[in-house]
Amino acid sequence: PARRRPGGPPFDRRRYTLLCLCAAELLAAPVTTIGMLAGRVARAAAVEPGVPPFDPVSADERAAFVDALKLLERHGAITPTDGTTDAYLGDEDAKVLYRVDTTRVIRLLAAPVPPSSLPGTPATPAAALTVEARYGGDEPTETQRALWARHSVIRRLLDEPVVYRDELTPAQAAYAASLTGRRMIRRAAEEAGFVLEERAEGLLLVDTEATATDTRFPDDGGPAKVAALLLLDLLVTAGPLPAGRLDEEAAGLLRRFPQWARSYQSDGGAPRLAADALEVLGMFGLARRTGDRVAALPAGARYRVDRGPADTEDA
């Protein structure tokens, strides 16, 4: 399911509804603001049969709207170029400017079976959209199971920053560890122009030319990514840590640099900065939150600060 944040609660019906309305309205222009988009969504909801009205004055409605926008951000469909989406949670007049990738918006819905071609009534299970006959359905052959494992593993490698072995199904993990699987993964990486990194914990594809990269880390493109890099070093060297400790570290950053991250220089700014930084780390497969504890994942070690040997020379 779509989630309100990486590893967070799944979307409810309202959030899915707002996600679809946002995606439809984003096709209107390559640039928009959060206020303009909210207005268009409100007008669209008002004329759509069976869709409850959207009221941006309601804090709960704004929270659902922000969750839909954050998901679109994670998929690269929209990019905030001025302001942060979370600012809308506390202020319906918040100013946020977005650049819209309309091509990505159109491609958000991707299924082997087009929804319009499904037989039956609107009650047809959504699972019917993802059935691929070439994988054999409920009784696949050994060849079909191997085909599914190959496709699913390589798709994840091409789509995600890092794939950990403990996140794979037993069938996927067995395929990735087999001689045939390793050979096919290496061939796919080479044909796509990536460099394959194999580790005991997992696999990742390095895009050395950045030709297929939609978002980068490390990157100074926003306060959340800068804070993410700083917090990651702490998690790698001292973690796992309580989530509250990250809030304290974020507060310390804001105090040390009062002219930096202006959108977070307000009451409640430190927890928001820590949450946004943690979202960045989760998106790149570098950290994971479990309950109230946050831990760095193995790929996070590649960004650990090398402080070098202690200086022992005489003054």
The domain 13-107: what is its CATH number? Answer: 1.10.10
* pLDDT exceeds cutoff 70 at 115: no
- Tell me if 122 sits within 8 A of 129, measured CB to CB: no
In this predicted model, what pLDDT tens digit does every residue of 249-293 receive, in sequence order? 999 999 999 989 888 988 888 999 999 999 899 989 999 998 889
* Predicted structure pTM score: 0.61
pLDDT at 268 (0 to 100): 86
Per-residue confidence (pLDDT) for residue 266, from 0 to 100:
86
The pLDDT tens digits of the residues spanning 148-175 come to 999 999 999 998 889 999 999 999 999 9
Contacts of 204 (CB under 8 A, 6+ apart): 157, 161, 162, 163, 196, 197, 299
Q: Find the mean pLDDT for residues 88-107.
A: 90
Q: What are phi and psi of 289, to 5 degrees?
A: -100, 130
Give me the CATH topology for the region 223-303.
Answer: Arc Repressor Mutant, subunit A (1.10.10)
Domain-wise residue ranges, the chain = 13-107, 143-213, 223-303
Residue 8, amino acid: G
**pLDDT at 109 exceeding the cut of 80:** no
Same fold, 13-107 and 223-303: yes
At 218, phi and psi to the nearest 5? -65, 155
- What per-residue confidence (pLDDT) applies to 113? 65
Q: What is d(CA 289, CA 106) in angstroms, rounded to the nearest whole number? A: 31
